[in-house]
Structure 1
Amino acid sequence: MAGGADRDEAPDRRSHPLVEPVPDAPAAVADLGDETGLLVADYHAGIEASLRYERGVELDSAGDERRERLLDLLARTGADRLVVLGDLSHRIGGAGDAETEELEALLSAVGVPVTLALGNHDTGIEAAFGDRIDVTAAGGARLGDVGVLHGHTWPAPEVLGADVICMGHEHVAVRLEDAVGGARAEKAWLRGPLAREAFDAEVDLAAAGVEWRDPELVVFPAFNDRSGGTWVNVEGQGFLAPFLPGGLADGEAYLLDGTRLGSYREI
């Protein structure tokens, strides 16, 4: 429903000063207190090797292109830290040779500290690269007033005490139709107030001494162009996180160029 988009209202997407998407990129700059972070989600290093093994799909590696894209974003934003919101690697059960080689090249080039909010595809990465990456628990962590997690598990209480919570895992995309019935898929952001009641039965904030601060949730599009996505406006495609969609009842979708699509439930 591209015709209903409103580009004039795009700045609403950037209304919170702590997390600002980078224009035309699946990345955001975040104020982490004493550092500026570049946040990306779902890098999926070595995905081509897994697609070959799991699905018989033959694709040349895009590892060099992914790395250069990320390095360009680090240079453009001047970020002090790279924060990956899960699935830095791709193969579940441990990185194979292709994943290891791509990660080695990436980590040798980034030039800033790296934090990984552990994702479901990141098994084995801490053993292989733990001396070069700060790896959080599966429930994520809080960096200043920003909570970071992948989203495949319930968040840690400290994450829910942040002002803004950033997650990946969903590979958010929308299906857009033009006036003549043509359709295309576009990467998208989801943003909106987090609903506390979605967590009451699973996360005990009072026991953890955590104050609820009415946080905004930001669901990132995937950085990797080959990792597929959840079409949030197509019937039958559900969310993956255990707290969605209930935790984001009033969320809105935005394209990478800033186009505001409105409620993701009504696109």
Structure 2
Amino acid sequence: MPGEPAAVATLDFGAGNEDGPKSESNSESESLQTLERALLIADYHAGYEAGLRYERGVDVPSNAAERRERLFSLIERTSPDRLVVLGDLMHSIGDPGGAERGELEYLFESEPLQSLAVTVVKGNHDGAIETWLGADADASAAAALSSSSSSPSSPTSLTITPGDGIALGDGSVGVCHGHTWPSREVLESDVLCLGHEHPCVRVEDEVGGGRVEQVWLRGRADPAAFREHPGLDHDALPAWMTNDNVPSPQVVVVPAFNELVGGTWVNVAGQSFLSPFLPDGVADGEAYLLDGTRLGPYEAV
């Protein structure tokens, strides 16, 4: 989405791919029924301002209404079937406090979200979010979003997945938060999307003035870096990690939806990345501004 830290993906749930002859009309009808449009965002950090007051003694007016309206505007513009949050929907690491809980309850009770299926990948800030949103994170890994599902889950459903993520639809798009290594299911997708990093670049003009801009990071997954994954069976690695003729997934690091949370200045020497597989996991990574402007290799911006 130009100008916004959000992306739209078309997910194919593959219900029309079973063996056996099909008429052209039936095949087309089934294909239409199994495509789902998803809006992806990351790092909403509801209640961030309350967290600043509690954690640092900094009093910042709440931007909850502005965040909510930005999201509602994106939903209106993109007409998705599903909203996918790539972690850190909440800001507090434990149970949400009054302001944060109120922001989330208002968000989920609103009409725009009532008309959508919602998937939340659990981030490091999301604590026990499933206990009060009424979803089971362990059970959700086998929910209708998995690649083995024959059709999308019904509208207005809520799915919470573990932070190492799941593959959506037919498995071509994998989503995780990024604070832990991705699941094997995610690593076998064509595109791997994550949040957590809040990528930014610091740019300076000729007189030394500077500003910070949010960016997307994109690049191919580096097989050598991902072979360090401690949770994989190294006798049965995904093909792209061992065979140079198999293309590796495209890695997309999604900028934070919450504009106040800061982030990693990816073009500044000495900045430490937060994710255990970044920056080494992204080969030839490039940065893109929110409006789509390609900045080139992120280290050289």
The one-letter code of the counterpart of 1:134 is T
**1-side partners of 2:36 and 2:261: how far apart?**
30
Is 1:230 aligned to residue 264 of structure 2? yes
Task: Give 1:214 deviation, angstroms.
Answer: 1.3
Task: Give 1:179 deviation, angstroms.
Answer: 2.2
Is 1:244 aligned to residue 278 of structure 2? yes
> Quick check: 2:87–2:163 contact (8 Å CA) kept in 1?
no
Task: Give 1:207 deviation, angstroms.
Answer: 6.3
Match of 1:53, SS state, is helix
**2-side partners of 1:264 and 1:210: how far apart?**
27
**Which residue of structure 1 lines up, in the alignment, with residue 61 of structure 2?**
60
More RCO (CA 8 Å, sep 6+): 1
Task: Give 1:197 deviation, angstroms.
Answer: 1.6
**Which residue of structure 1 lines up, in the alignment, with residue 158 of structure 2?**
133
TM-score (norm 2): 0.78
**1-side partners of 2:224 and 2:163: how far apart?**
21
**Which residue of structure 1 lines up, in the alignment, with residue 80 of structure 2?**
79
Match of 2:284, SS state, is coil
Structure 1: which 5+ runs fail to align? 1-21
RMSD: 1.5
Task: Give 1:104 deviation, angstroms.
Answer: 0.7
> Quick check: 2:268–2:299 contact (8 Å CA) kept in 1?
no
Task: Give 1:196 deviation, angstroms.
Answer: 1.7
**Which residue of structure 1 lines up, in the alignment, with residue 208 of structure 2?**
181
Mapping of 1:1-267 within 5 angstroms?
A: 22-33=1-12, 34-109=35-110, 110=113, 111-131=115-135, 133-144=158-169, 145-202=172-229, 203-204=231-232, 210-212=238-240, 214-267=248-301
TM-score (norm 1): 0.88
Match of 1:38, SS state, is strand
The one-letter code of the counterpart of 1:142 is A
Match of 2:119, SS state, is strand
**Cα offsets for 1:155-192 (capped at 9, x unmatched):** 00000000001000000100011122210000000001
Q: CA 1:208–1:75 in structure 2 vs 1: closer, same or farther (change >3 Å)?
A: farther
**Cα offsets for 1:91-110 (capped at 9, x unmatched):** 01221111111111111122
Task: Give 1:50 deviation, angstroms.
Answer: 0.6
Task: Give 1:211 deviation, angstroms.
Answer: 4.7
**2-side partners of 1:94 and 1:84: how far apart?**
18
The one-letter code of the counterpart of 1:84 is V
> Quick check: 2:81–2:117 contact (8 Å CA) kept in 1?
yes
The one-letter code of the counterpart of 1:113 is A
**Which residue of structure 2 lines up, in the alignment, with residue 6 of structure 1?**
none
Match of 2:299, SS state, is coil
